[in-house]
Amino acid sequence: MIPAGSLDRLITIQYPPSTKNDYGEVNLSAGWTQLDQVWSRIEYMGGSEAVEGGKVTALNKIVFIVRYRTDIAVNMRVSYESKYYYIQFIEEIERREGLRLICEVRD
């Protein structure tokens, strides 16, 4: 069981817009919507560098540990301390005790 005292960081989970235009195309420019604010624990996993679009980009991995829930998906992101962390992978802890949201932020 995840001790309540270890969940000491308030994060916001957001999901991308899924509105469609008259032609049935998804409109991704509508902005992100807040799903919920939850308490979490943070584990830093380090970082690496990658070349994207001809420039070097720093990729930092971070894990947010939250209570178990079924409405979080890999197309979502976490907002924490004015940065956006894009969920890359979701791992269940024990038997539905919690979730590890393995995220990536690009600097």
Report the CATH number that the domain containing residue 66 is assigned in CATH.
2.40.10.270
Longest dimension (CA), the chain: 49
In the prediction, which pLDDT does 107 show?
Answer: 63
Q: Which of 4-8, 26-30, 59-63, 86-90 has the highest mean pLDDT?
A: 86-90
Model pTM?
Answer: 0.79
> Whole-angstrom Cα distance, residue 33 to residue 86?
14
The domain total for the chain is 1
In the prediction, which pLDDT does 51 show?
Answer: 63
Per-residue model confidence as pLDDT tens digits over 10-66: 999 999 877 777 777 766 666 889 999 999 999 988 766 666 667 766 678 899 999
In the block, residue with structure tokens 């990536």: 104
Domain, as residue range, for 60: 4-106
If pLDDT is split at 50, 70 and 90, which confidence band does 98 have? very high
Residue of 5, 9, 1, 31 lying closest to 101 (CA atoms): 9
In this structure, which amino acid lies at residue 60? N
